[in-house]
Chain A
Amino acid sequence: MNECIARALVFSGRPDPTWKIEEAIVKELQKIWDSLVPMQREPPSAPPLGYRGCLIKCNSDIEWYIYKNLVTLKRSGKTESRDDSCRKFEKLVISSAPKGLVPSSLIEDECGQID
């Protein structure tokens, strides 16, 4: 079974919120990934402090990093970045967190309205 754990990079001292992503959501994320185009513009860079994106690690050697319109996939040592101009990937990841776990106000400070 492909088990994936998401981590919202929002804190520095405290542990970041982490949660398990259901398999149905993972499949949905994979679909979104397949529909994205390769990143051709300058990718956004996260500030050192505050919301710095989300990280998804799956036990199938897949790792995603998402920040704003940037979605990066690491698989078997290879890295590929794609452009998610509507931020569908990020929205789905954050909405998959249990209610109240991810402080949405912190994310909105950095990224504007997510939902």
Chain B
Amino acid sequence: MEVYRRCFFMCMVISLEKDLLIRQLVKLSKNLSAEVQDTFEEFVCGSTGLITRLKLGKEFSDFVLEEIERLKELRFLLDPQIIELREKRLSAWWPCRWWCPCYWWWWRRCKCAPLYEPIWWNDSGQIQYNNNCYNYATNYRTDTYAQPGEAANAKWTNLSACDVPSPDISAKMGAISDCLIDAPAADNRCPSKGHLVALVIRPGNMYTWDYHWYRKGRNKYWSHKPGGTPVTNLDNSGNAISDPRTADRGGYTEFCTFMKVMHGHIKIK
């Protein structure tokens, strides 16, 4: 228990001194993105973070992450800028006060989304080359270059459109067979359970057609893994992706749908 307390204290120090540490890290590397700000604690204390080197088990990591989330919410609620925004802007049109659950809902709504952890996938080896956009979007490593519908013996047969006439099977229909939930009305909002993914296709003929998946992260931005190449959070124009419907997707011109991934419910192969 003493070890737990000490480590918890260490993480809280990291949490509270985050801005200072980030400034120091930015000095060290110009490549650090603004996203570090959002995911720094998870990077250090998460299930795949540096803290795992202490070998204290998943239970401890979960406990630390819960505490980090709790403190984030507290920081959010007590942030002077947020308080000012609340008073000046929101109260003018929204009949809410600071204690209103809508703030909690707004803050927590991507809580179940996966972290943006490119380093874990971009190993220039087994993980990177054998897992594709479908693996990454569902956050499910199979090392088999998973195909929508394969696990349910209903693999796609036609990628010329988002919906194809029976008996052909589209990528969307294959994904539904894998127990992903079609959520066309999600409108870029994270679900209360599970996480949000988006399916697009590159129409064409059987030699050129293809599909692609994006996933929405905990920081509310999207990321993707184009085939065996590295995970990225940028689109083809080099911009961060706030909505895959409006992102530069190159030849993947057709946006099919948003879908929901319920953790532990899906099966892909």
Chain A residues in the interface with B (C-beta under 8 A): 7, 9-16, 46-50, 52, 100, 103, 105-106, 109
Chain A residue nearest in CB terms to B199: A13
Is the pair A12, B145 in contact by a Cβ cutoff of 8 Å? no
A-B contacts, 13 of them at CB < 8 A, read: A7-B228, A11-B210, A12-B210, A12-B213, A13-B171, A47-B236, A49-B212, A49-B251, A50-B251, A52-B226, A52-B229, A103-B207, A103-B208
Q: A13-B212, A14-B211 are in contact. Are A48 and B251 (CB under 8 A)?
A: no
A19 to chain B, nearest CB (A): 15
B133 interfacial by beta-carbon distance below 8 Å = yes
Type the 1/0 row for B96-108, where 1 means its CB is closer than 8 Å to any CB of A.
Answer: 0000000000000
Contacts of B132 in A (CB 8 A): 12-13
A78 to chain B, nearest CB (A): 14
Chain A residue nearest in CB terms to B227: A12
B25 to chain A, nearest CB (A): 24
Contacts of A52 in B (CB 8 A): 226-227, 229
Is the pair B229, A47 in contact by a Cβ cutoff of 8 Å? no
A-B contact count (CB 8 A): 67
Q: A49-B252, A105-B208, A106-B208 are in contact. Are A9 and B236 (CB under 8 A)?
A: no
A105 to chain B, nearest CB (A): 6
Is the pair B213, A13 in contact by a Cβ cutoff of 8 Å? yes
Chain B residue nearest in CB terms to A105: B208
* A33–B201 alpha-carbon span in the complex (Å): 37
* A101–B226 alpha-carbon span in the complex (Å): 19
Chain A residue nearest in CB terms to B232: A48
